């Protein structure tokens, strides 16, 4: 019986560009963002254009109790996504500059490799 040749049909993986430490940091941020209420808080802060937003403005927009809003804000604070500034008895929240850049970077496609790719050739179906 003859041996069949091995056919390389898949693009070789370049490997991960994330170190273990970076992946752990990103996991913490993504866990904090993986909640609909926290996503809405981040969106609200993004729409504020960098201006701090009082907690008293967040609660009515979300329709949640004060305790629930405080819980979600704490999760985002602990993950380093937002920062808190005390003004009297009120807390004002804003996004940490660049806090979402690392998340964005995970999902951005790298530049095409230096390998020549012929646009006229359709890649073979893999496995």
- Give the best-scoring range by mean pLDDT among 35-39, 56-60, 121-125: 35-39
Residue pair 81/96 in contact by the 8 Å Cβ criterion: yes
To the nearest whole number, what is the mean pLDDT of the chain?
84
| Mean pLDDT, range 89-95, rounded to an integer | 95
Position 77 pLDDT exceeds 90: yes
- Rounded distance between C-alpha atoms, residue 96 and residue 52, angstroms: 11
| Per-residue model confidence (pLDDT) at position 122 | 55
Residue pair 58/47 in contact by the 8 Å Cβ criterion: no
């Amino acid at each position: 019986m003859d041996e069949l040749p091995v056919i390389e049909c898949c693009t070789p993986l370049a490997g991960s560009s994330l170190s273990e430490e970076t992946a752990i940091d990103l996991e913490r941020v993504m866990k904090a963002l993986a909640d609909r209420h926290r996503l809405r808080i981040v969106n609200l802060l993004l729409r504020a254009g960098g201006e701090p937003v009082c907690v008293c403005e967040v609660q009515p927009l979300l329709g949640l109790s004060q305790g629930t809003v405080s819980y979600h804000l704490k999760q985002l604070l602990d993950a380093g996504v937002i920062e808190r500034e005390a003004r009297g008895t009120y807390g004002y929240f804003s996004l940490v500059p660049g806090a979402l850049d690392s998340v964005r970077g995970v999902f951005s496609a790298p530049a095409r490799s230096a390998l020549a790719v012929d646009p006229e050739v359709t890649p073979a179906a893999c496995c």
